[in-house]
Structure 1
């Protein structure tokens, strides 16, 4: 796992009151794991850009609140009814769209926006000749 930010970095960016002291180390660890999972391309690890550090700080705040890896259970209730002759059947179920970025906490959405220049498309690949 790459280390994009440290607790000291987040304290410098957001001030020391961004999370209780006992949650800071784990929140930064989760933020670094999240950033590493994004496979950021072109980030110079010896001089990490300020935008990446800011994104990491935003992710750390969300992680300190327990929302970075939280499962979303909100959705909509849907019902479908089918009628064939005199027979009618109805089915009611919950539907959740996990592909929408709006289901992400606002801090995560902001961080992803900051990381735009370094994110690679899941549908792209490198070709070496």
Structure 2
């Protein structure tokens, strides 16, 4: 796991009262794990850009609230009925749409927006000849 931010970085960005002292290191560790999982391209690890540090601070704040890796279980109940002559069949199921923008807290969306220059499309790939 790469270290994009430290507790000192988050304290400098958000102030020392962003969360209780005993929760800071775990929140920063979760933020670093999240940033690492994004596979940021072109970030100089010797001189981490301020935008990346700001994004890491936002992610650490969300992690401290217990919302960074929180699963969303909201969805809708859907039913489909098909009738062919005298035969009718019905199917009821739950639909969970995790692609909606509401699936992520606002601070995570802000952090991802700050990281846009270093993120690549998950559908892109490099071709070498």
What TM-score results when the alignment is normalised by the length of structure 2?
Answer: 0.92
Residue 66 (structure 1) aligned with residue 66 (structure 2): yes
In the alignment, which residue of structure 1 is the partner of 2:97?
A: 97
Cα shift at 1:78: 1.1
Aligned counterpart, 1:125: 125
Q: Structure 1: where are the runs of 5+ without partners?
A: none
Q: 1:19 aligns to what? A: 19
TM-score (norm 1): 0.92
Structure 2 gaps of 5+ residues are none
| SS class of match (1:16) | coil
Cα separation, 2, equivalents of 1:34 and 1:13: 18
Match of 1:80 in 2: 80
CA RMSD of the aligned region, Å? 1.4
Distance in 1 of aligned mates of 2:24 and 2:15: 12
Counterpart check, 1:53 vs 2:47: no
